Amino acid sequence: MTQCNRREMLKVSAFAGAGALILTNGILAKGQSPNEKLAIACIGLGAQGNFQVSNLGKLNQDVELVALCDVDDLRAGKAYENFPKAKKFYDFREMFDKMEKSIDAVAVSTPDHSHYHPVMLALRAGKHVYCEKPLAHSVAECRIITETAAKMKAATQLGCQRHAIKNMHRVVELIQSGAIGQVTEVYSWIGGERGMPEKPTAFVDPPALLRWDLWLGSCPNHWNYSVSKALNGKEEGTLVPYNWRFWWDFGTGETGNWACHILDIPYWALNLKYPVKVSAAGPEVDAERTPKEMHIVYDYPARGSMPALKLYWSHTKKPLCYEKYGLNSGMKNKAGEKVNPNNLFVGTKGMLLTGFDRHVLLPEEKFADFEYPKQFIPDSPGFHKEWVLACKGGEPATCHFGYSGAMAETAILGNTAFRAGHKTFDWDAENLTAVNCPEVQAALKPEFRKGWEY
């Protein structure tokens, strides 16, 4: 199939209502025999991409890495060295042109702005997909990917690797067994003040090993390669290799970077999906750069026997719940281990403070003799292994897009509410509508540069 046709495959109907789709050239993702090796292509090989390549490569009894694709030879070098038999590509569209029939599944680990196109191309070609968080760069992209994956019956996994940590399993068991009663509030946060990076100090030629135009991909705004002072104080690429995350054209800030990991705990424990109201607050909005601080309030409806609740998401140096409930970052569990918290569940019978690795029930004196419920969440065979087994016809992976897509979409919706000017609005998830809020509504879908349109 020609590259021109590849681009046609990426054209989805202009989003309206619930994000209606036109699927052409699509085939159902094929079932894979448990005894066959899964042929995987990896797109994006630096940093987190190398993590995916390494972990998938360790499953060599189950998988074979047949293609590797990256726009930067320097960043991708380790993957090329470790898997010399895999075919090398710079453009994922060319990779599909030449190898579509040889690929069963695709892992995408590119910057946020360039998730949508390779994921959609893979799904519509009938491939299984692993994608790094936050799934996509806009609300509409997240919804379209989620719906397309369901239509194509693909085995999917969002890169919330901490979902496999045993402490998170125990926390979910505690909440779902009623240890702290009915949960009515959740506080979730990421610390620090990363954001608002330095603006370019000089415009220079891109590194010889970097294909700059391909890196820019679908970005509608033209960027020349530049250098600036990075977060560590050293002068390096304004966007490459990492600081793209804090420019709205390419990244989604600390909310996009961390919310899918941290909200995974309450989303899983409390059976959350879409909020019905969203409210954003924080410092003055910068049109180009992500903020050093942000606060979002999500209102969720009742779910079965679970009551309505408020979830407070913050990117902040001091979580909102610390002063309100007399907590601090140095709290320890019964074993004397520091919790390193990022979530507080507030229930009718107590509270649960947790991080990824440890938790503590509060007030501690009330739970001194508490007996934990019997384990009912099985240990993960490994986060990447879950996906591989699902691709071969097994149970869905635990962070499949049917679960994680709504979580990613909600995180990006918070960003959108902030960027639109600290908006508060009712959210009609079914129809993808910010009720009576045209500023947010206009920002739900992305703009792509010519040649990369829906």
The pLDDT assigned to 230 comes to 79
8 and 146 together in one domain = yes
The pLDDT assigned to 28 comes to 39
Burial degree of 372 (CB within 10 A; 0-12, 13-18, 19+): exposed
Phi-psi region of 373 (alpha: psi -120 to 50; beta: other; left: phi over 0): beta
25 and 128 together in one domain = yes
Closest CA to 352 of 163, 191, 179: 179
15 and 141 together in one domain = yes
CA dihedral 141, 143, 144, 147 (to 10 degrees): 160
pLDDT tens digits, one per residue of 37-68: 999 999 999 999 999 999 999 999 999 999 99
15 and 131 together in one domain = yes
Omega cis (within 30) before 275: no
239 and 154 together in one domain = no
The pLDDT assigned to 144 comes to 98
pLDDT tens digits, one per residue of 243-285: 999 999 999 999 999 999 999 999 999 999 999 999 999 999 9
- Whether residue 297 is contained in a domain is answered as no
- How many domains is the chain built from? 2
CA–CA separation, 112 vs 137, rounded Å? 5
215 and 104 together in one domain = no
7 and 153 together in one domain = yes
12 and 142 together in one domain = yes
The pLDDT assigned to 427 comes to 98
CA–CA separation, 124 vs 151, rounded Å? 10
61 and 133 together in one domain = yes
Strands (E) in 240-358, as ranges, are 277-281, 294-300, 309-315, 343-347, 351-354
Could you say which residues of the chain have pLDDT below 50?
1-5, 7-30
Provide the residue range defining the domain that includes 233: 202-246
The pLDDT assigned to 35 comes to 64
Token pair in block for residue 305: 């026997």
Give the angle 27-28-29 at the CA atoms, nearest 5°: 115
108 and 206 together in one domain = no
DSSP structure string for 122-178? HHHTT-EEEE-TTS-SSHHHHHHHHHHHHHHT--EEES-GGGG-HHHHHHHHHHHTT
- Whether residue 352 is contained in a domain is answered as no
116 and 39 together in one domain = yes
CA–CA separation, 454 vs 447, rounded Å? 9
Bridge partners, residue 309, by sequence: 300
- Whether residue 136 is contained in a domain is answered as yes
9 and 156 together in one domain = yes
